[in-house]
Amino acid sequence: MAKAKKKVAKSKQGVSKKTARPKPRPQGKKPPRPQAPAGAYVPPETFSRRAHVKSMAEYEKLHRESAKNPEKFWAGVAKELHWFEPWTKALEWKAPHAKWFVGGKTNLSYNCLDRHLSTHRRNKAAIVWEGEPGDVRTLTYQQLHSEVCRFANALKSLGVGKGDRVAVYMGMVPELAVTILACARIGAIHSVVFGGFSTNAIVDRVHDCQAKAIVTCDGAWRRGSVVPLKKTVDEAVEKCPTIENVVVCRRTGNDVAMHPGRDHWWHELVAGEKDTCPATPLDSEHSLFILYTSGSTGKPKGIHHTTGGYMTGTYLTSKLVFDLRDEDVYWCTADIGWVTGHSYIVYGPLANGATSMMYEGAPNHPAPDRFWEIIERHKVNVFYTAPTAIRAFIKWGEQHPNKHDLSSLRLLGTVGEPINPEAWRWYHAVIGHKRCPIVDTWWQTETGSIMISPLPGATPTKPGSATMPLPGIFPEVVDKATGKAVPDGEQGLLVVRKPWPSMLRGIWGDDKRFKDVYWSAVEGSYFTGDGAVKDADGYFWIIGRVDDVIIVSGHNLGTAEVESALVSHPSVAEAAVIGVPDEMTGHAIAAFVTLKDGKAPGDALKDELKAHVAHEIGPIAKPKQIRFTGALPKTRSGKIMRRLLRDIASGKQQIGDTTTLEDYSILAKLKESDEG
């Protein structure tokens, strides 16, 4: 026992102390590993020894080589995957349009499934799924392949083919993964709409991408009750003339209305289908999916990703960042309705032949220890979640994780927003038992895969920093006016200087907006919308959005989208929303609202407006505070001065620069507007 204890202690992740390290080394041996910055958490040696990338020296060499010739680097990665026909050129770059692996033919569904069937992975679990009520399903690579083929054949039987758009509005069931893999198999383009969104969100997205079919479920389990997904789809489809077919997967067993000729039960459709369906060789630049994300104007942006580059990016990053090993059970807690679920539940892990855990429900159902119970039950080794979830765990208390054996964990990750150092330390100590490195991964729907992140066996981590760019990725913090790098330690805009394979190829149907949003702020570079600082050790610290996007519990919400939802209420004349810091959700939405003449403010109306926004967009967009005010602060040109609203909402006595404000008396009125 004493021996075992010692071992654990030795492999604990140490905080580096500059003075404690140097050891004399014999001449002629490898150079000592570069010293970690003071205060950084050094990966445990036991971890590094077995990792894909074992040291900073190795990481630096990889990054240096990728910088010398990024195309060669990425081509080397892509070659690890299956191509029906080789590419003729790794990159064709006509800024801002990139084509990767030009002329190559591949199929991502093939790479996630068929590629493994001739190996020892054939009978390995591809997906281990746990339903909210506690039911468990395991699909081996062979079984998943059969399911995907059957459903691909079913889609074909409905007339869905290459290039057609398929909207997907499902809960977190294995059939959701099956659906997107089936689309990818036949070259149909999937567009997953998060199951927490409302009717209007489906309508907007289906209109924008002109989807031909929708795949849904009768319902989804959420905290013990049924979310009636099919009902929401029915309301949406009434306003979606492009939809020809609706496929309904039975999950919750609630009554649903089936529209004859249009609606089909999943189980009936696949019953007669063969369990083989050859994967269509697709051009590397063939569209894979469209995923909508909020922008600073009202309309969500259809982020467009293609096949070969996205496959290469998610494959490499899953392998290096999560340090995937064949025997791992890897669990990403995101919803497949977001990019994190696309890239790191389905495509990246399966392209690596990993075992990907999938959970259907809420983290606190039936009790706040559900996640820890799942980790213990399935012996999860790698756990990837969001800072907002971690803050909720902290609030619920350590007694919940402490009840469970978490010793299977070897690596932890976070994504979605900056993690505050206290939450990082809690995660490290209480969940990781100071044993597991933490990878704080920065990326976006637009980037397709992780861009800035520690490599767990190599990078010393500083709580709150996503650390350094991955090999093949070249970000910089620049000055807004000059586009030149700012000195270390100064804040600037985060840009990416060179194209990378999994980058978005555009905004669906709107090339002008694509250029305006991402390529006009800093000449020749991709602008991320984030502000950042790079410190003297080369570590990136992401500050947050500099545009009008608010991140609530890791979900991006455009201010304009929420404002237009508010204004669509008959009592509202004008609205301005801002993000205010919130302990639990990172940011919360505060709305300043002016009412139409004759409409009276009051608590009842506040509740009504909150419910209205939830109905229009979804519960995640619900403002936490609503303040009624006589007028909104505007510039002479009529732009709402959100900066001032932010100052007021955060209770600042000193309001920032008001020289451009048109009507000063508004400030006093705003301060009087009551909170709530």
Which positions touch ligand WTA (CB under 6 A)? 293, 338-340, 415-418, 440-445, 466, 528-530, 542, 544-545, 551, 556
3-state secondary structure of 71: helix
Roughly what angle, to the nearest 10 degrees, separates helices 665-672 and 642-649?
40
Position of tokens 């570590």? Answer: 539
Cβ within 8 Å of residue 160, ≥6 positions away:
166, 186, 188, 212, 213, 245
Cβ distance to ligand WTA smaller for residue 419 or 609: 419
Please say which residue, 289 or 442, places its beta carbon nearer to ligand WTA. 442
* Closest approach of ligand WTA to the CB of residue 466, in Å: 5
CB of 291 to ligand WTA, least distance (A): 9
Are 293 and 529 spatial neighbours (Cβ–Cβ below 8 Å)? no
433, burial (CB in 10 Å: exposed 0-12, middle 13-18, buried 19+) = middle
The secondary structure of residue 200, as a DSSP letter, is H
Kindly state the smallest distance separating residue 419's Cβ from ligand WTA, in Å.
7
Residue 55 vs 528, nearer CB to ligand WTA = 528
Which residue, 36 or 438, is less far from ligand WTA as judged by CB?
Answer: 438
CA 662-666-669 angle, 5° bins:
175
Structure tokens, 569: 């209420």
CB of 495 to ligand WTA, least distance (A): 12
User: What is the closest distance, in whole angstroms, from the C-beta atom of residue 464 to ligand WTA in the complex?
Assistant: 9
How far is Cα 481 from Cα 483, in angstroms, rounded to an integer? 6
For residue 267, what is the enclosing H or E element?
helix 266-271
- Residue number, 309 or 579, with CB nearest to ligand WTA: 579
User: In 535-649, where do the E strands start and end?
Assistant: 540-545, 549-552, 555-558, 572-582, 586-595, 625-628
CA distance 230 to 166: 16
Quick one: CA torsion of 15, 16, 20, 22, rounded to 10 degrees? 140
The smaller minimum CB distance to ligand WTA, of residues 100 and 443, is found at: 443
Min separation Cβ 387 and ligand WTA, Å: 8
Nearer to ligand WTA, 87 or 527 (CB): 527
Least distance CB 440 / ligand WTA (angstroms): 5
As measured in angstroms, the least distance from the Cβ of 532 to ligand WTA is: 9
- Kindly state the tokens that stand for 246: 């609706």
Q: Least distance from C-beta 309 to ligand WTA, angstroms? A: 17
> Measured from the CB atom, is 213 or 423 closer to ligand WTA?
423
Chain CA centroid to CA 469, Å = 17
Q: Minimum distance between the CB of residue 521 and ligand WTA, rounded to whole angstroms?
A: 14
Angle at the Cα of 415 (from 367 to 489), degrees rounded to 5?
A: 135
Side-chain half-sphere CA neighbours of 635 within 13 A:
9
Distance, in Å, from the CA atom of 148 to the CA atom of 655, rounded to the nearest integer, reads 57
* CB nearer ligand WTA, residue 106 or residue 453: 453
Backbone angles phi, psi at 280, to 5 degrees: -70, 125
Nearer to ligand WTA, 499 or 558 (CB): 558
